[in-house]
Amino acid sequence: MASPVSFFNVEELNTLSADEINVRVNRVDRLSFALAAAHPVPLRRMLPGLESMDLEVINEYTTTWTRSDGTVCHIYELVLDPNTEGAQGFAANWPKAEQQICDTFRAIWTGRIEADRFNALIPAAGLDWRQVAVLRSYSRYLRQLPLPYGQSRIQQVLLDNPAAAAAAVALFEARFDRQADPTAADDQLGTAIDGLVHIDADRVMRAYRNLINATLRTNAFAPEALGPSAPYLVHKLDAQQIDELPQPRPLSEIFVYSPEFEGVHLRFGLVARGGLRWSDRHDDYRTEVLGLVKAQAVKNAMIVPAGAKGVFVVKSTAPSREDGMRCYQQFVSALLDVVDNAADSDSSAAAPVRHDGADPYLVVAADKGTATFSDVANAVAVGRGYWLGDAFASGGSAGYDHKAMGITARGAWISGDSHLRELGIDSDTDEFRVVGVGDMSGDVFGNGMLLRRGIRLIAAFDHRHIFIDPDPATRDAYGERERLFALARSSWDDYDRAVISAGGGVWPRTAKTIPVSPQMRHALGIDDAAQHVTPTDLIRHILCAPVDLLFNGGIGTYIKASDEQHADVTDKVNDGVRVDASQVRARVIVEGGNLGVSQRGRIEFARRGGHINTDAIDNAAGVDCSDHEVNIKILLAGRHPAADRDALLVEMTDEVAAHVLANNLAHNRLLRDARANAAQMVTTHARMTTALERDRDLHRERENLPSADEFAELAKSGGSLCGPQLATLMAHTKLALKADLLASDDFDDDPHFTAALHRYFPATLRQRMGDQLSEHPLRREIIATSVVNHLLATSGLTYAFRLAEETGATTGEIVRAHAIVSGVFELDALWDDIRAAGLAPALTDDLVIEARRLLDRASRWFLVNRPQPLSIDLECGRFQAVPTLRGKLIEMLRGGELATVNRWREEWEAQGVPTDIARRISDSLYAYSLLDIIEMAHEHDEDATRLAHIYFELSEHLGVDNLLLAVSSLPRSGRWNALARLALREDLYRSLRDLARDVHRLVGAHTDGVDVIEEFESYNRSRIERARRTLQEFQNTENPDLSVLSVATAQLRRLTTGV
């Protein structure tokens, strides 16, 4: 070996620190690579970096050199084979190559890049290590797609086609260089791809081209990229444009690559929110998070942001918590690199190139593996000056503690209470049998098992233990659960055995077998005679136990459909314990945890008579609480000192919880009344599904909704969608309506909608902030969410769709009509009174559905008869006489119509409905006519009360009520039948309105003693006789069809002329 100072000068050796190296390439006499270090370096540490550049070491020489300070420097000369392809490639330009080799080796040594075959592109394609890192990062993303090629095959394609690889880099650089021409670079890559001869190479390179063109932002050109402060590459991608992506495709994805970790963040909207999880699924983490984000997107239909979800994996074989936290910090920092900071958005020429619009809103949440990381994420956001500050990640130390609030479990019990009430069980006062998934140390399960004192917990399990208490002493068992909940890091093994009833116990899941006692056999409904079972079998028995309620507060999917394979569920760890929904004997399932039951499993359970929603409904309270926290913090940012703000958050805890739980209650009520008339509405649901599939992102097969043929079969057999399917349809309906509102320019201009913004926030905050609420950056999104939630909660699942279908009205016009009708007829007070009456669920649903007939008809009236766009305040003012006239209805109705109202009222009262509610429900369809009456009064400057008397006298005399009832009895199947019914009904009301106007003109000048009907008939006797004969024939026709009613309606219409 030559003298050490022939490779390195004395100064370089003297300045080497303990962890530094210095490297050189030598071409004197022979090709070699020299490395100097102040510590010994094993050969195995040096070889991978050189071999990754296709440089082969054929000999090694080692020497030492002692510095004046006594430090021994170790110098290694590695002789390289000059005939490898890598060496030959570098030989084309050795002055440049020497620097490339040294820079690349240093980057590998410091962990900035990986030592893999991608580095051979440096000599093969003339690239530098940063350019190769870009190609490597895209290859890692491609591994997460359904592309049938592994990393080695992708590497080989690039090495076999270095010109195409270089062209891909040129396109990437051109897209993010303001002075370059990306079109020309794209054409050049396209030409290179066209020249490829192997189909694998063609597909791989087209995938690269597609990904690069779909890249909206990147940090690759930032000086700190792949350096100590930002040891990663991050690309923001337009997911809609990526050909290889499976459906559903989010709006955008952010992919982060680092030698130490990888991650992806999927967002279904510009304003989107979801958790970041630490996964161990290195090969398919995107598949894992895609399944979760689909559920998140549906769950977020109830809150302001759209769905989002992020996931990262740590590449070391046994990562510690510290490793995970460090990678999490870098992942979060990378996400913030490719979004805007609203406080300082730079659009200058010097700013990085971006191929999308403004993107200032990114919020995250805790998830699996990151439950305690929210403060870490917020520290990153605050440290970077991100405008959201510690609103970036909800649930931190200065946010709402979900476990302390018990908010997720409280929301889940809203669903449980609703289901049990339908079964005649009052969860507040009755005892009921429960089995569960989870343990008392957990948030959802622990809180859940303490929120209802009547719980008789028969059995439960988590990943450590199985708990059985065949005949629990309810009060004592509650006290022991309470003790375990307060005990830090408790498990079922801490449960006091003295409290457990005979035949029960606690066993580890690692036990070989567990004895089956007679009491256990009876409690769990175990039919076979086995004296011992494995823990796996016992868990299956628990899941199938004949109990009132199964409460899932754990992690994992434990129930699937009978025709599903375990592989379809993608929860391999629980394959052994998972059961079919057909085997589950619980009457109710509550999903406090995510994905406890597959969607197909939910549908199977529901179709067998089980009561179940979806996890998106049952555990929505946690998501909703975080959303309120974030939006409150955004509002208070810069307006309150941190300490004052934190105190205010604490002060409002109960108010926020009340808002959140009210939303959960509204969701359950909406689903319950949707189930009540699901069979009647099945054809409407079919059309809604078709419209959402055509116009939105709904994929009916993926969402487990019926095909068109299956819907037709349901309609034919009298079947319907079940609860979980209605929950899915509800979520997509909300998403569609919110999107419509946000796409319109003026929906939030009306003061009515500003009031909706105020109602979103707790009263304490409204009082303190006042008009500043309207300055919220997410004002429009909050209004849209609040309005849509209220719309569906009060009008039902199909209201907006039917009105749009029947009138062609936009969503904005429909929400205005809804607001007007709700105000004019005081419907919000009616809904509140019905819910507060304490009636049986089925009766409550009947009342709500009946009252919505007025909402439907009156909304349609405003959309058809009044100038658009509707002004809520003006219309409410124009029809402010409705309540007064409605109070006189009983005086104005005549004969059969009065008898009908009284009969309906008496029937409702006989079922226990309070008289005031019964009256408002019974006269509601007659109150609808007041709109026509008041409109006539305004148009002709007439007295509305006098017009109303004439209107109802004519209605009774001509038997209009019988015609209307017959119209309502016409077939409901199909859109055209529905439209035909509407047309006939509107024709009848219009004819009656015009006739009342004509008669009023005739007799209006006379005294009140004039007999209106006699006066009317004396002027129109021949026409009335013809109409009466036709109407009499109608009365004598059994089950009159559309043609009969059309003729009868025409006769009535003819009476409006010649008076």
Helices (H), 969-1011: 975-1003
Paired with 252 in beta bridges are: 267
In angstroms, the CA 1050 to CA 1059 distance is 16
Paired with 309 in beta bridges are: 266
In angstroms, the CA 519 to CA 502 distance is 7
Residue 943: phi and psi, rounded to 5, are -80, 120
In angstroms, the CA 660 to CA 303 distance is 10
Three-state SS for 849-875 is HHHHHHHHHHHHHHHHHCCCCCCHHHH
Angle at 338 between CA 335 and CA 340, to 5 degrees: 110
Catalytic-labelled residue, pool 309, 560, 633, 734: 309
Q: Is 303 helix (H, G, I), strand (E, B) or coil?
A: coil
Q: Is 228 helix (H, G, I), strand (E, B) or coil?
A: coil
Residue 514: phi and psi, rounded to 5, are -130, 130
Paired with 589 in beta bridges are: 550
Cis amide bond preceding 869, omega within 30:
yes
What are the CB-based long-range contacts (under 8 Å, 24+) for 695-701?
Answer: 695/736, 696/732, 696/735, 696/736, 696/739, 697/248, 698/732, 699/247, 699/248
DSSP-derived pairing of the beta strands 252-257 and 261-267: antiparallel
Closest CA to 239 of 255, 223, 224, 221: 255
Half-sphere exposure of 1030 (CA within 13 A, CB side): 22
The tokens for 819 are: 């607001």
In angstroms, the CA 570 to CA 504 distance is 33
CA 179, 183, 187, 192 torsion: positive or negative? Answer: positive
Asked if 236 is an active-site residue, the reply is: no
Q: Is 64 helix (H, G, I), strand (E, B) or coil?
A: strand
CA 136, 138, 143, 147 torsion: positive or negative? Answer: negative
Q: Say how many C-beta atoms besides its own lie within 10 A of residue 703's C-beta.
A: 20
In angstroms, the CA 952 to CA 376 distance is 70
As to burial, measured by CB atoms within 10 angstroms (0-12 exposed, 13-18 middle, 19+ buried), residue 179 is exposed
In angstroms, the CA 476 to CA 792 distance is 43
Residue recorded with tokens 């209307």:
964
CB 168 within 8 A of CB 209: yes
DSSP H or E segment with residue 278:
strand 272-279
State which amino acid sits at residue 553. G
For the chain, what percentages of helix, strand and coil (3-state, to nearest 5) are there? 55, 10, 35
CB 92 within 8 A of CB 240: no
The tokens for 478 are: 């509650």
The tokens for 809 are: 């009205």
The beta-strand segments (E) located in 341-498 are 363-365, 432-437, 455-461, 465-468
In angstroms, the CA 37 to CA 76 distance is 9
Residue positions annotated with a catalytic role: 309
